[in-house]
Amino acid sequence: MPEITLTTLQSLKQSGEKIAMLTCYDATFAHAACQAGVDVLLVGDSLGMVLQGHDSTLPVSIADMAYHVASVKRGNQGALILADLPFMAYATTEQALHNCAVLMQAGAHMVKLEGAAWLAEPIRLLAERGVPVCAHLGLTPQAVNILGGYKVQGRQEAQARQMRADAMALEQAGAAMLLLECVPSELAAEISQAVNIPVIGIGAGNATDGQVLVLHDMLGLSLSDRTPKFVKNFMAGQSSIQTALSAYVKAVKDQSFPAAEHGFSA
């Protein structure tokens, strides 16, 4: 597969072709995802829950992230590798710069930070130093204790207005991509149209520029009996993991996923 870069993702947004992103934590699945045509491999701090068995992403360390980024890099065949900065790894500008260097040197092409307009300054500094940033808005799992649980964000008008302003401020600061999690579909569509950078959704409707799911969720694997509304099991009816991965990419590209039932209203 041809190498995916930020320029590629920008071109996909402009042409209207959806971006297929999937979490990935090791070399074997990186190889399989690339074979299926996944554009972006997200080495997510979700590994704290799906690999390590924690009840949140908070225990994940920068060393954990670097290990899995390096593993994914070894199996990658042209996808863009996006890596999460874990909880409190960017509490200060110095931490952000140091820890981004760790992840980029491990093999990431881009880093993801959770937060709002307060991220503008670290994003500006990172972009100036050659580190592309994806800003994560909406439900930000690292802030689960402040948010009071895993809840849809942006349903109140004031909250929606603030999220739109945050998105535009972060783009202005130099963010190269946005990720919206558990955001009403209409609000996600408005934000996707308001900014010039690619917007990826998870539980944010089908009008964003692309979609992401946690690998284990889309394969029907979970430590919990509760399946999030925005998840679809692509393993159902498939003969192999490889065909399930291909089915996910096809569904994102032809816009059959997410369907209306996978989104949230205001």
Kindly report the average pLDDT of the chain as a whole number: 96
Q: Answer yes or no: is pLDDT of 229 > 80.
A: yes
Residue stretches of the annotated binding site for 3-methyl-2-oxobutanoate: 45-46, 84, 112
Q: pLDDT-derived band of residue 256, with 50, 70 and 90 as boundaries?
A: very high
Q: Express each pLDDT in 45-87 by its tens digit.
A: 999 999 999 999 999 999 999 999 999 999 999 999 999 999 9
d(CA 150, CA 47): 17
Measure the CA–CA gap between 175 and 89, rounded to whole angstroms.
18
Do the strands 177-181 and 199-202 form a parallel or antiparallel pair, or are they unpaired? parallel
User: Which residues make up each annotated binding site?
Assistant: 45-46, 84, 112, 114
Q: What is the pLDDT of residues 181-227, one digit of tens each?
A: 999 999 999 999 999 999 999 999 999 999 999 999 999 998 888 89
Q: Decide if pLDDT at 150 tops 80.
A: no
Q: Which domains, and CATH codes, for the chain?
A: 6-262 (3.20.20.60)
pLDDT at 254: 98
Residues 49, 60: Cα–Cα separation, whole Å: 9
The pLDDT tens digits for 161-190 are: 999 999 999 999 999 999 999 999 999 999
Q: Nearest CA to 109 among 3, 195, 32, 38?
A: 3
Pick out the residues of the known binding site for Mg(2+).
Answer: 45, 84, 114
Residue with tokens 């679809």, as numbered in its chain:
232
Is 3 a catalytic site residue?
A: no
Please compute Rg for the chain using Cα positions.
17
Catalytic residue among 3, 94, 128, 181: 181
